[in-house]
Structure 1
């Protein structure tokens, strides 16, 4: 099983590839960015994307259900 710790140890490119193999759940906007939520095995990953620059800025992986509140 792929874990949160495994994910955090990946390079940015490897994280992007792993996320695309996950399940897309939802998206939202925050401070002009698109934030997409994915489910991978036993954790979630947020992808922070800047549409103006057409680039991924960062990934945030977590297990806490509290961080899902912005998507409800």
Structure 2
């Protein structure tokens, strides 16, 4: 199982591959960028995407629930 520490040692391409294996939770807009949130095992990852130039600008990962604050209004929960 991939951990946050493992993720942080990967290169950008490997991090992106790992994120695509995760579960999409929500997206939001920040400073004109689309920021997408994914769940990966026991941590979260964000993809910062600039739609104007069709480019991923940054990938970040974290495991603190407090960092989910910007997404609370956007998280989609499955009814089950």
Give your verdict on TM over 0.5.
yes
Unaligned runs of 5+ in 1: none
Give the total of aligned pairs: 72
CA distance in 2, matches of 1:53, 1:8: 26
TM, length-normalised to structure 1: 0.96
What do residues 9-57 of structure 1 show as CA deviations (whole Å, max 9, x unaligned)? 1111111111000000000000000000000010000111111111111
Q: In the TM superposition, what is the alpha-carbon distance from 1:60 to its structure 2 partner? A: 1.0
Structure whose CA Rg is larger: 2
Runs ≥4 in structure 1, deviation > 3 angstroms? none
SS in 2 for 1:2: coil
* CA RMSD across the alignment: 0.6
Question: Residues of 2 paired with 1:60 and 1:12: CA distance?
Answer: 10
- TM-score, length-normalised on structure 2? 0.87
Residue ranges of structure 2 left out of the alignment (5+ in a row): 73-80
